A = this chain, B = another copy of it.
Amino acid sequence: MEPRVSLITLGVADLERSYRFYKDGLGLPTTRKPEDGIVFFQTSGVTLALYPYAKLAEDVGPGWDEPRSRFTGITLAHNVRERQQVDEVLALAAAAGADLVKPAADTFWGGYSGYFTDPDGYLWEIAWGAFDFNEDGSLHVT
């Protein structure tokens, strides 16, 4: 197995709403349209997909379409190169309608970060510190 996560798919309640949030609010690039039934965003390394929640559950199999708990156990992080970009990206997300569930603050690991939730309550941490960046923008993890 090559070390690779190809896609992260978020099951969403309203594809149009989530498309607007990620495309217009956060500025993620895509040529796709909600009318296609699924939306892909080309990000560096991993593709972010939005797909209706019930259909995603159906794709896994019978019995998976159940209400989701507030905490999924999974967080996604967007790391920034400069400390003040944490505040900038959180402000961008808030302007796009995100709920800022944890204001930016110094972290115990020497960084600076905060969390927001997207329209479906999926958690994103915007973080600075601790990691260097590879040339492609990915984190340099030893």
Residues of A within 8 A of B (CB): 1-11, 26-31, 40-48, 53, 56-57, 59-61, 64-79, 89, 92, 101-102, 115, 120, 122-123, 125, 127, 131, 136-139, 141-142
The answer to whether A41 and B3 touch (CB under 8 A), given A46-B138, A60-B101, is yes
Q: Report the Cα distance A76→B5, complex, angstroms.
A: 7
A4 and B43 form a contact (CB under 8 A): yes
Name the residue in A3, A60, A67 with the highest tally of chain B Cβ atoms < 10 Å from its Cβ: A3
Task: Out of B7, B30, B31, B120, name the residue touching A79 (CB < 8 Å).
Answer: B7
Q: How many copies does the complex hold?
A: 2
A73 and B68 form a contact (CB under 8 A): yes
Task: Out of B27, B43, B68, B89, name the residue touching A5 (CB < 8 Å).
Answer: B43
Q: Report the Cα distance A39→B73, complex, angstroms.
A: 16
A-B pairs, 6 with minimum CB distance: A45-B45, A7-B77, A6-B79, A72-B72, A11-B73, A46-B46
Could you show 19 A-B contacts with beta carbons less than 8 Å apart? A3-B27, A3-B43, A4-B45, A4-B137, A7-B79, A7-B139, A8-B46, A8-B74, A9-B74, A9-B76, A11-B71, A11-B75, A46-B46, A47-B138, A61-B115, A66-B71, A67-B69, A72-B72, A74-B74
